[in-house]
Amino acid sequence: MFSLWEKQSFLTSDVLIIGAGITGLSAAATLKEQSPDLQVTVLERGVLPSGASTKNAGFACFGSVSELLSDISTIGEDGMVGLVEKRWDGLQKTCQRLGRSMIDIQVKSGYELIFEEKSSVIENIERVNALLNPFFQQNVFSLSNDKIPQFGFGQTHHLIENPLEGQLDTGKLISSLWKYCAELGVQVYTGCAVENIIEEESKVIAQCKELSFEAKKLAVCTNAFTRKLIKEDLDISPGRGIVMSVIPEKDLKFEGTFHYEEGYYYFRDYYGKLLFGGGRNLAMEDETTTEFGVNQQIKEKLLEDLNTIILPDQKYEVEMEWSGIMAFGTSKQPIVKRISDRVVAGVRLGGMGVAIGSLVGEEVAELILNS
């Protein structure tokens, strides 16, 4: 039973946003930046954000050559260039909004490991460079094979370097964005799992287990968990990703961000530790799930790669492991759309939502403001 005061001040807003990941919080921030008088409330099911935004490995990247070639095969050259531009602009937007030091962004170069001596990826470096040159005004990718002995990698024939790629602290990013939203006057309620969205003539209601929130407009920013909330058959499949934090016995010989096999595997240095994840492609069916957990088959493959490729001849300790849930579809483009008069969605951020999330949030906010 709620009082009049609670109903007015806590349960009624102009805009409700479901999901406190990078997309939902960025949408909230944009709404308040553009329209400071709007009452904006974010509802998050977890005590902490519980999807992908605080579970990734903190790559500030826009795609390795093999990944971009794969993008070309599905969305064409223009589509790939457009996606890279959005990823880059999204990262710049996040840096501008929060400040580079607040998210601990460091640009130490990104690298792709290639295990075959003769590889079509190497043959296509110049093609990808030519496509991206007009945007970056420089060739982004080059061979840095001379660094392979220095980095100590096993089985690696080629190393492609991208000097623009960086790494960040994903926990600091979301907590800074959360604080930024609070400073703008956004209310964020945690422990509020929305079970149902009901639209009435003059309002939209988000029903949680024990209470309901109402607003004039509502944005669904629940990424992989969207199908439970929106009846429309959106093309969204969940994809679980695992990350391990590894403490090497000796100092790491490399720093930066690293990928292989079209970005399915990725590792980076983190203040002397190694963060290593991926391998979803080994068990696609099992990993198409919204349940958190660690697949032992994938973990074994990651440990094998640690022993043979990344830290050969070195002991290490796996300090922590965790998983996060991403959202994929037949296209790599996020879904930003109006679902009804009062409801919009910004979902399906794929494997590069850290980069693109702030722009998707901005697009969601614009859809709300322009309706």
Ligand X SMILES: Cc1cc2nc3c(=O)[nH]c(=O)nc-3n(C[C@H](O)[C@H](O)[C@H](O)COP(=O)(O)OP(=O)(O)OC[C@H]3O[C@@H](n4cnc5c(N)ncnc54)[C@H](O)[C@@H]3O)c2cc1C
Which positions touch ligand X (CB under 6 A)?
A: 18-24, 43-46, 49-53, 55-57, 59, 61, 192-194, 221-225, 229, 241, 243, 266, 277, 324, 326, 349-355, 357
Q: What is the largest CA-CA distance in the chain?
A: 71
CB of 306 to ligand X, least distance (A): 16
CB of 3 to ligand X, least distance (A): 24
- Nearer to ligand X by Cβ, of 23 and 156: the residue is 23
Distance CA 176, CA 178 (A): 5
């009804």: which residue's tokens?
Answer: 340
CB of 18 to ligand X, least distance (A): 5
CA atoms within 13 A on the CB side of 125: 17
Please give the C-alpha separations between residue 165 and each of 49, 69, 162, 211, 269, in angstroms, as whole numbers: 26, 17, 6, 44, 13
CB of 57 to ligand X, least distance (A): 5
- Nearer to ligand X by Cβ, of 259 and 342: the residue is 259
- DSSP-assigned beta bridge partners for residue 15: 40, 217
- Nearer to ligand X by Cβ, of 94 and 156: the residue is 94
């990703």: which residue's tokens?
Answer: 241
CB of 205 to ligand X, least distance (A): 14
CB of 38 to ligand X, least distance (A): 20
Please give the C-alpha separations between residue 275 and each of 90, 235, 262, 279, in angstroms, as whole numbers: 23, 31, 18, 14
In the chain, alpha helices (H): 4-9, 22-34, 65-98, 120-123, 125-136, 147-151, 170-184, 284-287, 296-305, 353-369
- Nearer to ligand X by Cβ, of 45 and 342: the residue is 45
- Nearer to ligand X by Cβ, of 49 and 256: the residue is 49
Q: Estimate to the nearest angstrom the gap between the alpha carbon of 319 and the chain centroid.
A: 23
CB of 359 to ligand X, least distance (A): 11
Both tokens of 84, joined, read 């890279």
- Nearer to ligand X by Cβ, of 52 and 310: the residue is 52
- Nearer to ligand X by Cβ, of 33 and 116: the residue is 33
